[in-house]
Structure 1
Amino acid sequence: MENRKRILITGAGSGFGEGAAIGLARLGHKVIAGVQISPQVTPLRKKAEALGLQDNLRVERLDLLDPYDVEYALTWDFDILFNNAGMGEAGPVFEIPVDLVRKNYETNVFAPLHLTQRFVRKLIDQKRPGKVVFTSSMGGLFTPAGYGIYVSTKHALEAIAEALQDELRPYNIQVQTINPGAYLTGYNETMAENPFRWLDDSKNVTKRADMKAVFDSLLGTPQGRLDPAEMIEAMVQIVPSDTGKFRNVLPQFVEDMLKEHQTKAWSNQI
């Protein structure tokens, strides 16, 4: 295959990450699939073998919060870092425990930033071109009630990626974001369950039933349960490409909604 890339994908144990790892390997790219926990390693290795992709799809444990995993990952040879790993804490911003906020930022912002800094410095020192791609979100560009903390981490990634694009251009290192809509991978559904670990009707202003109604209003509609195959197909084209848009929002109706939302933000009244 011409222009075959060597790609590290974080958060490849499920959802978009797993689908993109398999899709990119099928296209002939050399993929390292980093999965968060050891029990995810063998099943994905077996899946790669069953699909005949074992030569192109290498599976390794890569917990971004484990410094030993990160140091080991930096010894691997890859041209593209696809920062896909993430987690979500939802619930009312005015009541969510701050330790959960810190945890969400550690996983979604600080850990991928640290890995990215180390990766791009390696490229710069070796005078090699490369690329960094971040899985952001439609939520990186607007803030629905109930999801403020999670999407604020994606807002942070948007700012980081935009700055990196300008900073790294002189070194021939490209930067992109991918901004999925509400695709049905289980990620959003699990995030919507997280507040019920701590929301207590006897203590919190926000009641559990009201919070559930907020989540159901988004995730209970067809627009909140999109087929992830569409997004995965786009990812396997965007990530290895040498050209393309900086920001990549799918599906189109979400991009249209975000543009309308950003225009209306200028006339938003308190």
Structure 2
Amino acid sequence: METKKVWFVTGASKGLGLTLVQKLLASGTPVAATSRTINELKQAVGYEGPLFLPLAVDLKTESSVGEAVTKTVETFGRIDVVVNNAGYGMAGSLEELSDAEARENFDVNVFGALNVIRTAMPVLRKQRSGHILNIASIGGFTGAFPGFGIYCATKFAMVGFSESLAAEVAAFGVKVTVVEPGYFRTQFLTAGSLAVPKNEIAEYEEVRKVQSLHQNDLNGQQTGDPEKAADVMIRVANDENPPMHLFLGQDSYDLAYAKIDQVKKDLEAWEELATSTAFESEKA
């Protein structure tokens, strides 16, 4: 009989994380799931039984994350798939957002994920197996979203360290996939998941338009189905040759190809001048 993989999912009380956890439990897969509030997590997941380990975790505190990882291993004996899903959106121009607002977004979206990786890797390394899925965003591949510079920066950081992590842990049999979704119909654009600047600057009219578009027009109208996104992630986690980059949704693909085309255009337009920078004696 096939042994089910043990999953460890952060940010599991809402969004893609919640849908993923519910699907895994419905299929008989053991899951350790984290959220800041355990009662909210239990209520959202709506499942009770030995397969489900709900954990209250402060991702910004390494000791809290470490306790959760230890509890998971004590309960299930191992961890096979780690999903860094926790995070929140941040709207506002770079000038508007304070140092504290920007750092808080990085603390959760970037350093929270690094805390999970740092505490889970000894388990995966000892097992000589495992798979880490870091949930970034298409905003971690293209930053062409006025008013989302800090959020995009946190997701660009996740994409970058995921690529490095994949190279670092391959020798231990551990795989890494960075997931870059487009717009999915979750609570991501609601007030509880999308922060806005405390001190808005009136001159940033384009930023306000984009902010309003996300909060009022796109929210609830996203074309992406989170159920299907969860299915794709589960399939990827069970694949022998999973992708390093997983773009999710047609919109994500369209934006990724547009970015690639723009980079290619810039490369070709400036290649002759930009590659004429070697010392004369070292030119080919």
Query: What TM-score bracket applies, with the shorter chain setting the length?
Result: 0.7 to 0.9
Please point out which of 238, 246, 249 is paired with 1:248. Answer: 246
Listed one character per residue, the Cα deviations across residues 81-126 of structure 1 (whole Å, up to 9, x for unaligned) are 11111112211112211111111111111121122022112332x2
Larger radius of gyration: 2
Q: Which residue of 2 aligns with 1:166?
A: 167
Q: Match of 2:69, as an amino acid? A: L
Listed one character per residue, the Cα deviations across residues 207-266 of structure 1 (whole Å, up to 9, x for unaligned) are 5xx533213445625996123222222223223444321111121342133112222134
Q: Which residue of 1 aligns with 2:177?
A: 176
The answer to whether the Cα contact below 8 Å between 1:133 and 1:178 also exists between their aligned partners in 2 is yes
Listed one character per residue, the Cα deviations across residues 162-187 of structure 1 (whole Å, up to 9, x for unaligned) are 01111111110110011111112121
Q: Which residue of 2 aligns with 1:106?
A: 107
Q: Which residue of 2 aligns with 1:211?
A: 207
Q: Match of 2:58, as an amino acid? A: D
Q: Match of 1:117, as an amino acid? A: R
Q: Which stretches of structure 1, 4 residues or more, deviate above 6 A after TM superposition?
A: none
Q: Which residue of 2 aligns with 1:65?
A: 60
The answer to whether the Cα contact below 8 Å between 2:135 and 2:178 also exists between their aligned partners in 1 is yes
Quote how far apart the aligned CAs of 1:193 are. Answer: 5.5
| Mapping for residues 101-180 of structure 1, pairs under 5 Å | 101-124=102-125, 126-143=126-143, 144-180=145-181
TM-score (norm 1): 0.85
CA-based RMSD of the aligned residues comes to 2.5
Listed one character per residue, the Cα deviations across residues 24-67 of structure 1 (whole Å, up to 9, x for unaligned) are 1222221111112234144146x113xxxx23222111221234
Q: 1:214 to 1:192 in 2, by over 3 A?
A: farther
* Partner SS for 2:243: coil
Distance 2:226 2:188 in 1: 11
The answer to whether the Cα contact below 8 Å between 1:89 and 1:191 also exists between their aligned partners in 2 is no
* Partner SS for 1:263: helix
TM-score (norm 2): 0.81
Equivalent residues, number: 258
Q: Which residue of 1 aligns with 2:233?
A: 235
The answer to whether the Cα contact below 8 Å between 1:44 and 1:59 also exists between their aligned partners in 2 is no
Any stretches of 5+ residues in structure 1 without a counterpart?
A: none
Identity %: 23
Any stretches of 5+ residues in structure 2 without a counterpart?
A: 74-78, 270-284
Q: 1:6 to 1:192 in 2, by over 3 A?
A: closer
